[in-house]
Amino acid sequence: CLCAPGWTGEFCQFAENACLIYPNNCSEGATCIDMSQLREEPLFQCLCPRDFTGEFCEVQIDNCDSNSCENGGTCIGYEDNFKCICPIGFEGERCELDIDACLFNNISCAPGALCFYDEENQRSHCVCTLGWTGNTCLENINDCETNRCQHGATCEDGINKYSCYCVPGYEGPFCEVEVNECSSSPCKNGATCMDLSGHFSCHCTAGFTGETCSVRINECQDRPCWNGGTCEEDISGFKCNCPFGFSGQYCETEMNECDSAPCLNGAVCQNDVNSYDCFCPEGFEGLNCEINIDECTYGFCKSNSTCLDLVADYSCACPPGFTDKNCSTDIDECSSKPCKNGGHCHDLIGEFHCSC
């Protein structure tokens, strides 16, 4: 509850200052004196200026002049005389006598409190400053009885005030504001901060741990790489440097070297660990069967014939007078019986001679 002026308490049920509750009851120029006691009905008294009287100083005294009452005494006019209402500490017909009314009545108010003498009831009483109570205003009012501290805060009483001491996670005059522990960016290395009551929690990115994600995890400690792979830490955690013949995040996949079709010329590829074998067709050789075997180097062609290399074969261009695949057979030019009239035929290389 936000109390109206003059009221206090958790539900604004206690009068704190009657003069604030009834600010216009005393006539203009009159002084309102709060007479209320804590937890009782609001009471006040109007201290009238000179020439005015009445409960609310609403009656002007006509027969009082400016010199009738001294020392701030209030003059009340009657038909043929006047009466001075003296302020505290003065008495006499014209309030000309300076007295200590409280000491006269054996009352000693605490420092800062005001002592008022009630002539009608012939007694003095202390008007306490805010925050104090009791007959002599020596009792400190416990303002924590009606405090507004929230969220488990501890209330500490003061003089006409109190202080709230907040539990972790809250701030403000009444600990009404929840602190955002993530506002100071406590989480490191790209972590996500989650604000909790009185603390925070960090959700770390891969490769980090700790309350604020400031500790780098050694991902390689558990030897995650297979088949002889070498582990290397990086920002995202780790990576495996695989040996030849293996691939994958953990080097778990054996590579098939035949997938790249390394064998040529129709050779058959056989995969092996980090290697392959090519089975060459006839006429080829080399690691990948890329070399066409030159059959001419074997010297199959005879008789000074010219050899032409083919795939897994060769061809001999025979000179005149020779035949067959290797030009090794001498053609018999006399087989056609070229010599006439009984002549004798002599077979030569690429030709013949007749002896007539």
pLDDT tens by residue, 167-200:
888 889 999 888 888 888 889 888 899 888 778 8
**What pLDDT is attached to residue 308?**
92
**What pLDDT is attached to residue 136?**
85
CA distance 330 to 304: 12
| 3-state helix vs strand vs coil in the chain, percent to 5 | 10, 35, 60
Answer for the pair 136, 107: CB distance below 8 angstroms, yes or no. yes
Query: In the chain, what's the furthest Cα-to-Cα distance?
Result: 207
Q: Exposure pattern of 19-28 as b/e (b: 16+ CB <10 Å)? A: bbbeeebbbe
**What pLDDT is attached to residue 61?**
66
- Under 8 Å CB-to-CB from 317, ≥6 apart: which residues? 305, 306, 307, 308, 327
Which tokens go with 252? 């778990």
**What pLDDT is attached to residue 218?**
76
Assigned CATH for 268-329: 2.10.25.10
Domains of the chain by residue range: 7-96, 102-171, 268-329
* Fold exhibited by the domain 7-96: Laminin (2.10.25)
CA distance 196 to 211: 14
**What pLDDT is attached to residue 329?**
87
Answer for the pair 324, 315: CB distance below 8 angstroms, yes or no. no
**What pLDDT is attached to residue 239?**
87
Assigned CATH for 102-171: 2.10.25.10
What stretches in the chain show pLDDT beneath 70? Answer: 51, 61-63, 66, 79-80, 88, 100-106, 119, 122, 235-236
H or E segment and range at residue 104:
helix 101-104
**What pLDDT is attached to residue 279?**
92
**Amino acid symbol at 18:** A
- At 3 the three-state DSSP class reads coil
- At 261 the three-state DSSP class reads coil
- At 207 the three-state DSSP class reads coil
